[in-house]
Amino acid sequence: MNTVNTALPHNLTLAANTSVSRRLPSALALKLQLPLSAALSAQVHRHRQAIRDILDAKDPRLLVIVGPCSLHDPQSAMEYAARLARLANEVSGEMLLVMRAYVEKPRTTVGWKGLAYDPRLDGSDDMVGGLTLCRELMLAMLALGLPIASELLQPMAAGYFDDLLGWVAIGARTTESQIHREMASGLGLPVGFKNGTDGSVGIACDAMRSAAHGHRHFGVDPQGHPAIIETAGNPDTHLVLRGGHGGPNYDRASIAQVHQALGRAAIAARILVDCSHANSGKDPARQPQVFNAVLEQRLEGDRSLVGMMLEGHLFDGCQALGGELRYGVSVTDGCLGWDSTERLLRDAARRLRMGAQSLAG
């Protein structure tokens, strides 16, 4: 790529292995280009408050974060969102459905980093186009009435989407990062910290305690300038269980251990279970089994289990990048197809409705 003329004095240079290929618009510039309307802004605030109310046991509904492992195709993403919006209305008395709109993907080594990085999926890394496309997609999903969830991986990218999100995840690999804890402390929305990849929750407990406090830290202001950022602390953090190297951590014995760990750290027991990753053995077809096991514990009275997360797309499984891609099939982790997801959530709504009626009777 051609590099940008940085106009540095002759005695100042970039690092030997670094070049500037293109400048990004500031977060403010993109927000002005693709603004959030007053009506949609009010909707986002209502969604955030609804999620807070579920976390605080003021709302008895189940929180369900559901959707593609990652967005890679706008057309299939919007088809999924439209289907989810219709289902969300039908089950709104029992569940709050939130659309996964993940546009950044952590990589163990290398690979496709997500729609924000490489929207053409060809290694061209048009991040300007990626940021624009992602914001357009999220605005279109909001227009359907859906709350939106995403994982914030690159703190510099967060400012391009933070006004659109109802819920945020900090992943297992970044929960230990001080930078992500500082970022979370300044987000005015609920944030779920995942347990570490080894399955332990100690790191996530430390992260929640850190994010609950105010910080002063290095950052970037909305105009894109380096700045000292001051945060007030986030009271709406909670734990996301995703299993670990030793296996799942959603069973009754594991949940009991999690309660003890949260109690020792003086952290409120607000637990969301990720039905994918190590909890399903990375087999998307096992996600309903995990979901139903957690739902059973909740129906038995464990109200600390505030919700679940499902990775789902229009069709089952996943596919490798390269060649002609199958429509509606994930290009990252394997997903549960729509038919199975819809059936699972309808049945869960029925069981929750019956449980509420039996308590009332």
How do residues 208-244 score in pLDDT, each as one tens digit? 999 999 999 999 999 999 999 999 999 999 999 999 9
In angstroms, the Cα distances linking 78 to 43, 54, 68, 208, 314 are: 19, 26, 11, 33, 11
pLDDT in tens, 152-178: 999 999 999 999 999 999 999 999 999
Mean predicted lDDT score pLDDT of the chain: 95
Q: With 90 as the cut, is the pLDDT of residue 118 above it? A: yes
Q: What pLDDT, on the 0 to 100 scale, is given for residue 11?
A: 67
> pLDDT digits over 125-151, tens only?
999 999 999 999 999 999 999 999 999
- From the list 195, 290, 286, 211, the residue with the least C-alpha distance to 243 is 195
Which has the closest alpha carbon to 103: 126, 134, 82? 134
Residues 23-72: pLDDT tens digits? Answer: 999 999 999 999 999 999 999 999 999 999 999 999 999 999 999 999 99
Q: What's the pLDDT at 21?
A: 80
Q: What's the CA angle centered on 184, arms 255 and 59, to 5 degrees?
A: 55
pLDDT over threshold 80, residue 3? no
Confidence (pLDDT) at 206: 98
- Percent of the chain residues past pLDDT 70, beyond the cut: 96
27-360 CATH pick, 3.40.630.30, 3.20.20.70, 3.40.50.720, 3.40.30.10: 3.20.20.70
Other beta carbons within 10 Å of 102: 25
Helix axes 338-360, 287-299, angle to 10 degrees: 10
